Amino acid sequence: MVNYPHKKKATLTSEKNISFGKRGMSFEDDLTKSNEHYLAANKAVIHKKPTPVQIVKVHYPKRAAAVITEAYFRTPSTTDFNGIFKGRYIDFEAKETSNATIFPLQNLHEHQVNHMIEVKKHGGITFLLVKFSKFNEIYLLPCENLAKFWQEYKLGNRRSIRREEFAQYGTKIPEGAFPRIDYLKVVEELFL
């Protein structure tokens, strides 16, 4: 059981007991494998950031098999990945959507977008990666474009970013073998 900072327990409201907890994990796994490839090739050092959690209760059924039974998120996490590439700090959020035509902006949190804006302000490279799973398309959207869409969202003028807008304001990342998602090629073209 993981609880949120305001001490309310996370519960499912659906009668079907559907879990969305692992949504996007294969995308993140592919990014992690790509980052391992970059590290092995001495190209970059980029890692997934762990979510800060405060462990409250642990059950010890056996001495070597501890099970966390209750925990709280200490603070809201910022973005998913960070590191260094060609001497520049890099920081980005990765999201996956099963929607064929749009990426809902409610899938982002305000503190994440604010963090990205601050990173950009201080000279870091920051962006949003979105995978449209129905088309197996991945787009890199630079922070400055995301910030414009987010401002419209905050004003109530928009609820999502259309797939066509990712194609217009972002860059499509082709999938390959090694690395699976070569996003640093696009980062190099756009930012360096």
Q: How many domains does the chain have?
A: 1
Q: Which of 1-5, 58-62, 90-94, 152-156 has the lowest mean pLDDT?
A: 1-5
Q: Is residue 151 part of a domain?
A: yes
Q: Is residue 91 part of a domain?
A: yes
Give the model confidence (pLDDT) of 109-122 as tens digits. 999 999 999 999 99
Please check if 91 is assigned to a binding site.
Answer: no
User: To the nearest whole percent, how much of the chain has pLDDT over 90?
Assistant: 68
Q: Across the chain, what does the average pLDDT equal?
A: 87
Q: Is residue 68 part of a domain?
A: no
Q: Is residue 117 part of a domain?
A: yes
Residue-number span of the structural domain to which 152 is assigned: 27-50+75-191
Q: Which of 63-77, 89-103, 168-182 has the lowest mean pLDDT?
A: 63-77
Q: Is residue 12 part of a domain?
A: no
pTM equals 0.79
Domain of 111, CATH number, reads 3.40.1350.10
Kind plus residue range of the DSSP H or E element containing 85: strand 81-85
What is the distance between the alpha carbons of residues 37 and 43, in angstroms, rounded to a whole number? 8
In sequence order, the 6+-apart residues with CB closer than 8 A to the CB of 63 are none
Which neighbouring-strand residues pair with 125? 90
Please check if 93 is assigned to a binding site.
Answer: yes
Kind plus residue range of the DSSP H or E element containing 113: helix 110-121
User: To the nearest whole percent, how much of the chain has pLDDT over 70?
Assistant: 84
User: With contact defined as beta carbons under 8 Å apart, do 74 and 7 qualify?
Assistant: no
Give the model confidence (pLDDT) of 10-34 as tens digits. 443 444 444 444 444 689 999 999 9
Q: Is residue 122 part of a domain?
A: yes
Q: Is residue 44 part of a domain?
A: yes
Q: Is residue 8 part of a domain?
A: no
